[in-house]
Every structure is written in C-alpha cells, then in structure tokens.
Amino acid sequence: MNRSNSFIDSMEIKIALRQLSLVLLVAVFLWLRFTLMANASSIPTRIWESQPAQVLLPDWSQISFSTFPPMTTSGNTDRRSWQSGSTLDRVLQLGDISELKPEILALEGIKQLISNNFDPANIALEAFPLVGQQTISHLVEIIPNLSQFQLDEVLPIAALAAQIPEIASNLNNLSIGQAVDRVPQFAQAQLNQIDLSQFSIAQIPNLASVNLEQFSGWETARLADVPYLNQVPLSRFPVLIAEVGGGVMRIDMIYGASESKRQNTISGSDVEGFAVACTQDCAYIELDDLENSGRRLTGSLEGKQWISGQYQEVRGGSGCLAGWEPTGRHPFGKAFKVVVMEPDETTDTVDTALFFRFSTPCGKSPYIIGPIPFLSYSVNSPIFVGLLEGSSSRSESRSTGAAKSSKPNPTEHSDTNSTNPAENQPRCVRPSTYIGDVDMASLAEAIANLESAGSGDYQAVGAYVCADGGSNCGMALGRYQLMSYREDVQQAVSSVTGGAEFLQRVNSGKKPTSEELFRYFPPTLQDRLLQNTLAESSDRTRSQVDPTTGQLFEGERLIERVAQKHFGGEGSKVDANYSDIYGGYSLKTYGEKVRQLYNYNTQGDCSPSSSNSNSGGSGIALSANRFTRALLISLFLGFMGYFSKMLYPCKLQSFWMLMGLGIAVAVSASTFAH
C-alpha cells in the first residue's frame, strides 16, 4: 500500500512538473515575442496586426489632451511659454489644434463624445472664460433666441444689467434684445464684469448649443478652459487622430551621435520634406523591411535612417513664425510631430517624443512645444513610420549643438521669424554650395524669406503687372517670385511639355492654379533656375565697380548688389531708393535685408568633414541587454534539459532537445546577426 501511494505521488509530481515546464515554455515564447515590441511609458496602447509582425500603437480612443504625459522641460518664446510638468491642455490653445477642428464643437457635442455625462447646471460660468469675454450684443447674435428672453429671466445677464443705471429699474419690462438696442453701454459690456462663479452655464439658455468658433477670440482659448474638451478622446475629434498610411518597418540598428554624413533618411519636416540629409551629430535608428532579415536580403527600404531630433533640426513653421524644429515625421497627421530622441547604443534602445506647435494669425510655429514622452523601442522592434513618400530632398539638417546623451532643451529650437537674424543665431548651418566666396543656397534662401514667406512658398503667385512700358507683362511665380516674362524663366518653363502654353496664359493675365504651377514650374526647377541665375549674376557683378567704395564689388556689397539685380533687374541703379508697385522695400533696403538674412544663414558655417564615418558598428555589437537576454535563455534551456531527463522517455527527451536547440538558434540569430 505504501509503495502504491508512493508511486501515485511520484506520478502526480511528474505530471505537475510536466505542466509547469509547458507553462514556462509558453511564457518564454510570449516573452520572446513581445519584448521586441515597443514599450509605452504612460501612453495607452493597442496591438495592430501588420503582417508579418504585431506593432504597438497608441490607443487614441483612450488618449485625450489631459492624459498625455506632462512636459519634461520648460520652454519660452516671445509668443508662448510653458513649464516643466505642465500638461498639454494648459499650454495648447484651440487655434493650435485647428487640424482637428475643435472649433465646430459645442458643449452639447462635447458631452456626446466623452464618457462623463456632465450636466451644464453643475458647471460654473467662470469655468468657461470664453463666454465671459463676449459682449452682450455678441452673445445675442450667437445664442439662439437669447434676445427674446426678459432680462430678469437670464440671471447672469440680469446681474450685469443691474449695474447699469439706464436699465437697472426696467429689468422686468425689457427683453435682452430691447436692452441691447437701447443702451449701448449694456450692449458693449462684457459678461465677465460680474462674478461668474455665482452662476452656471445652464442659466444662459441655449449656450451649450453654440459652436466654439462663434465666440470671439476662440482661437486663443486654452483647451483646459473649455469644459471637458480636454477629456475628448483624440479618436473622436471632428478630424480624428489616426495612422496615416500603413508604413511599418523594423529597427535594424541604433547609432549614437558620433555618426556623420547620412543621406538615406526618412526624417525631416513638412517644409523641407522627409528625406533631409544629416552631416554631423547624426544619431539615428536604421530601419529595414519587416520581411527582410539582416543584410542578406535587400529591399527598397533597406537601411533607411530616421535621424534623431535631439541632435538635428530642420526648417519648419510658416509666415512670421518660420524657424527651426526637431527633425522627425508625421505618422499620425500634422497635429504633432514624432521625434526620435536619444538612441542608446549600449542598451540598443531608443526613446521617441511628441512635439506640438502653436498658431497666430500670421503663421504657424515650428513644432517646438515639447518634448512629450512617447513610445520606447529596442532593436528588432517593429515601428510605425506612416506614409512612405519615397521622395528625395536636397536639404540638410543642422546640428542643435546638444551634448551627447543630454536631455533636450526646447528653447534651443527657435520659432523666430527667419527674417529676424538678431535672435537665435544658428550654431551650424547646412553644408555650403559655394561659388567663389558666396553660398548660393543660403543666398537663395535669404531671397525666399523676403519673397514668399507666408504666401505660398513654391506655390506663391504675385499680381499681374506690366513693365518696360507695357512690353513685358506677367506674374511673379513661385518661391523666389521670378517674373514669368523673364527670358530664363521662359526657357526653363518652355522645356516642360505644355510649359509654353502655360506661360502664354499667365502672361495674358490668367492666374495659375497650384497644380499648374507644380506641374510646369516645379520646386526643383525653381531652385535650379534661381541658383544658376544668382551664380551668373555674381560672376558679372564681381567685375563691376561699386560706386560707393570705388572698388570692385566683393563681400557683403557683392551680396547686396546681386540681390538688387534680382529685385530690380540687371540694369537697375545701384542702391536706388525707388521700389516696386507695392511700395515696400527699395532697391537699397532690399539688398541690405537680403545681406542680413544671408549672414544669418551662414554665420558659424561648418564645412563638411572630409572623413566619412560609417563605422558606427561592426554588425556584431554585443550590448548589455543582449548578454542578459542570452543568459536568461541559457538558464531556461538548462532548466528544461534537467527536468526533461527526469520526466520524459528518451524520444521525448530528443524532442525537447531539438526544441531547445531551435530556440537557441533563434536567439543567437537575433543577438548576433546585426
């Protein structure tokens, strides 16, 4: 009996141990599968099936502007500031997120979009400052039927009316509309002249049905100052945040900031495109097709580089706010920018962050509000990169000057107007395209900042004008506002099929569409034409005598004179005080402004290094986390081997040995292949 019980107990132990071993095997399988996915700090995530991998994406249905992680650093510009620890909803204004169209929402609509079924009767009017900023006459215009109510029926408005002697004694006899018509002082009074904490939103009938865009000054209202708007999931805004395109790639390698001369990029900005090259301090993640394995198979996306925005910045923004921003991508639309931050070669991990922008009537800032901690990745993680444009760019990023492994400082990214060289002097600009001692690319950029900033850039079109006694008529076209009747423009555009007919229409006064301009006078043609023209003009001008100095044009005077010729023509008078039809810059001030901008673009110019540092890793970079992974797997396999001898017959032992060998080979390939 005792032997029988001992045998049964032994069998039960063996069965239990077998089950334990299977559980451990499944656990290791899941660990191997999901440790290669992204890690999300406090961002809610979901798993998206993208064959042949699973990709971790933000779960926008659970993310609102109040739930984003707080700012990690402080920032300050002349138009906006924020503190470390601030949340986005207290920094961003409605106009900053116009891509999401929050302005078409009313409080009733917001109520339908959030899980908190709030009651306007429980929300004080002071929690909606935008209402308090309105005049009574404007409230009558935008709130349905408000003018028909008696003054004493709408308590907040009655309290304000009671302070105005002309109508204080007639609260019971006047409608709100009548009071507005008869008493201008009341009509122009703002509601916040009374204590709004004593009243609720529900005490103004129909207020909850008014769209935000109907309130004066809605653009500058903070998200936190519109009741419950900061709780609306980003997937439920009128224009929702979602994945743009289906581009998913695998992180093949991670490189630090010692790298240089990287051309095969997919990062940049919506101004310069997303293939902006990097010259120095090129920390980056190297990407590969999901289906490829290491370097043995080569696909169209093999070796693509996403440059770190902590170390590199590119031109961004528009109008009066044009400036510099971290290089990155827009895989989820233009409401924010995703930026690779600090690639860590020792742990084979990389963090990403989000940057937002702000808007004013004169333009949009670069993406500089941040960084907001986002997803973290390791080597072999699949990463969503969004729409893969497949375009090329002639632009190059510039170094931020950030110390290696330091935390980013958003104040280093300027939202300063690029026409204001006195602020935020650059530390190093893109590699030069010099002819003689003049950088033609920087000179072209300076001219563009005067000609088309905030007015369409490459799609800008000027007014129809006639010159030379009416013999030359046409329009200024594109980024550099080149006149359509110029001989070089005529030759360049006519070389494009249909270009001659296009010019004929333009020179007869028909304004071209953006599509026509892009087709017949594309950005690359505009750039090439202007730089060639500037080079030729520079050569001619060098041989001419400057009447001011009595010497040949050189240095800054050469820059000024070449700019004057661009503005007024080859035969224009040196330093003339006459202007164009718009009465803006004179020839003299135009040349001075271009020279100022040119100096700004080239100050601290860094010549590209002649050495090409491609040695960022031998392909067998054994990091600490890889050793840890290999050690854990080895211990597990040893554990499985030990128990398999105790529990299984010979054939099953062979099976488990083969299983263990397969896992070991897979782990080794993952650890050493790259």
Q: How far apart are CA 171 and CA 155, in angstroms?
A: 11
In the chain, what percentage of residues exceed pLDDT 70?
Answer: 74
Of 234-248, 560-574, 631-645, the range with the lowest mean pLDDT is 631-645
Is residue 19 very low, low, confident or very high in pLDDT (cuts 50, 70, 90)?
Answer: low
Of 244-248, 249-253, 501-505, the range with the lowest mean pLDDT is 244-248
> In angstroms, how far is the first alpha carbon of the chain from the final one?
61
Contact yes or no for 288/385 (Cβ under 8 A): no
Q: How far apart are CA 612 and CA 588, in angstroms?
A: 43
Task: Average the pLDDT over 470-498 and give the result.
Answer: 88
Interior/surface letters 526-549, b for 16+ CB within 10 angstroms, e for the rest: bbebbbebbbebbeebbeeebeee
> Is residue 136 over pLDDT 60?
yes
> Is residue 212 over pLDDT 50?
yes
Is residue 245 very low, low, confident or very high in pLDDT (cuts 50, 70, 90)?
Answer: confident
> Is residue 260 over pLDDT 80?
yes
Q: Is 555 exposed, middle or buried (0-12, 13-18, 19+ CB in 10 A)?
A: exposed
Of 10-24, 180-194, 329-343, 497-511, the range with the lowest mean pLDDT is 10-24
List the domain boundaries for the chain: 1-34+629-674, 75-236, 247-412, 438-602
Task: Average the pLDDT over 221-245 and give the result.
Answer: 91
DSSP 268-336: BBTTTBS--BB-SS--EEEEE-TT--TTTS--TTTTEEEEBTTTEEEEE--GGG-EEEE-BB-BTBTTS
pLDDT at 453: 63
pLDDT at 583: 55
> Is residue 50 over pLDDT 60?
yes
pLDDT at 116: 74
Is residue 89 very low, low, confident or very high in pLDDT (cuts 50, 70, 90)?
Answer: very high
Going by C-alpha positions, the residue among 409, 480, 470, 488 that lies closest to residue 443 is 480
φ/ψ of 47, rounded to 5, equals -100, 130
Q: How far apart are CA 671 and CA 36, in angstroms?
A: 12
pLDDT at 658: 55
Task: Average the pLDDT over 35-60 and give the result.
Answer: 71
> Is residue 38 over pLDDT 90?
no
Contact yes or no for 578/571 (Cβ under 8 A): no
Q: Is 605 exposed, middle or buried (0-12, 13-18, 19+ CB in 10 A)?
A: middle
Q: How far apart are CA 646 and CA 652, in angstroms?
A: 11
Task: Average the pLDDT over 134-151 and give the result.
Answer: 93
Is residue 207 very low, low, confident or very high in pLDDT (cuts 50, 70, 90)?
Answer: very high
Contact yes or no for 280/367 (Cβ under 8 A): no
Going by C-alpha positions, the residue among 252, 464, 562 that lies closest to residue 378 is 252
| Of 309 and 422, more confident | 309
**Residue 433: CB partners within 8 Å, gap ≥ 6?**
439, 440, 441, 531
| Of 446 and 49, more confident | 446
**DSSP, res 222:** B
> Is residue 616 over pLDDT 80?
no
pLDDT at 326: 95
Contact yes or no for 606/401 (Cβ under 8 A): no
**DSSP, res 170:** T
Going by C-alpha positions, the residue among 404, 376, 420 that lies closest to residue 79 is 420
Q: How far apart are CA 248 and CA 229, in angstroms?
A: 32
Contact yes or no for 369/378 (Cβ under 8 A): no
| Of 470 and 641, more confident | 470
Going by C-alpha positions, the residue among 99, 93, 98, 82 that lies closest to residue 413 is 82
> Is residue 480 over pLDDT 80?
yes
CA within 13 Å, CB half, 243:
19
Q: How far apart are CA 613 and CA 145, in angstroms?
A: 71
Mean pLDDT of the chain: 79
Please identify which residue in the block is written with the tokens 């949009």. Answer: 364
- Strand 461-467 to strand 369-378: parallel, antiparallel, or no bridges (unpaired)? unpaired
Going by C-alpha positions, the residue among 366, 368, 396, 417 that lies closest to residue 273 is 396
Helix, strand or coil for residue 461? strand
Q: How far apart are CA 305 and CA 274, in angstroms?
A: 11
Is residue 39 very low, low, confident or very high in pLDDT (cuts 50, 70, 90)?
Answer: low
**Alpha carbon separation from 414 to 233, 321, 428 (Å, rounded):** 30, 9, 14
Contact yes or no for 382/249 (Cβ under 8 A): yes
Contact yes or no for 56/38 (Cβ under 8 A): yes
pLDDT single digits (tens) 514-532: 778 878 888 778 888 888 8
Output the CA torsion 602→394→459→244 (10° steps): -120
Of 112-126, 205-219, 419-433, the range with the lowest mean pLDDT is 419-433
Please identify which residue in the block is written with the tokens 């919506």. Answer: 270
Residues in the chain, how many?
A: 674
pLDDT single digits (tens) 342-361: 888 888 889 999 999 999 88
Q: How far apart are CA 187 and CA 311, in angstroms?
A: 55
Is residue 117 very low, low, confident or very high in pLDDT (cuts 50, 70, 90)?
Answer: confident
Interior/surface letters 559-589, b for 16+ CB within 10 angstroms, e for the rest: bbbbbbbbbbeeeeebbeeebbeeeebbbbe
Q: How far apart are CA 463 and CA 477, in angstroms?
A: 9
Contact yes or no for 535/567 (Cβ under 8 A): no
Q: How far apart are CA 38 and CA 263, in angstroms?
A: 26
As a whole number of Å, the CA-based R_g of the chain is: 33
pLDDT at 36: 45
How many C-beta atoms lie closer than 10 Å to residue 84's C-beta?
Answer: 10
**Alpha carbon separation from 622 to 37, 407, 580, 617, 629 (Å, rounded):** 20, 25, 65, 10, 11
Instruction: Name the amino acid, one letter, at 388.
Output: L
Contact yes or no for 64/43 (Cβ under 8 A): no
> Is residue 84 over pLDDT 60?
yes
pLDDT single digits (tens) 576-585: 887 765 556 8
| Of 605 and 137, more confident | 137
- List, in sequence order, every residue forming a beta bridge with 55; answer none if it has no partner: 48
Contact yes or no for 57/245 (Cβ under 8 A): no
How many C-beta atoms lie closer than 10 Å to residue 169's C-beta?
Answer: 10
Task: Average the pLDDT over 656-660 and give the result.
Answer: 58
pLDDT single digits (tens) 379-432: 888 899 988 765 556 788 999 887 655 434 433 333 333 334 333 333 333 444
> Is residue 665 over pLDDT 60?
no
pLDDT at 20: 55
Contact yes or no for 364/357 (Cβ under 8 A): yes
- List, in sequence order, every residue forming a beta bridge with 306; answer none if it has no partner: 285
> Is residue 666 over pLDDT 90?
no
Q: Which H/E stretch holds residue 352?
A: strand 349-356
Please identify which residue in the block is written with the tokens 């920390």. Answer: 283
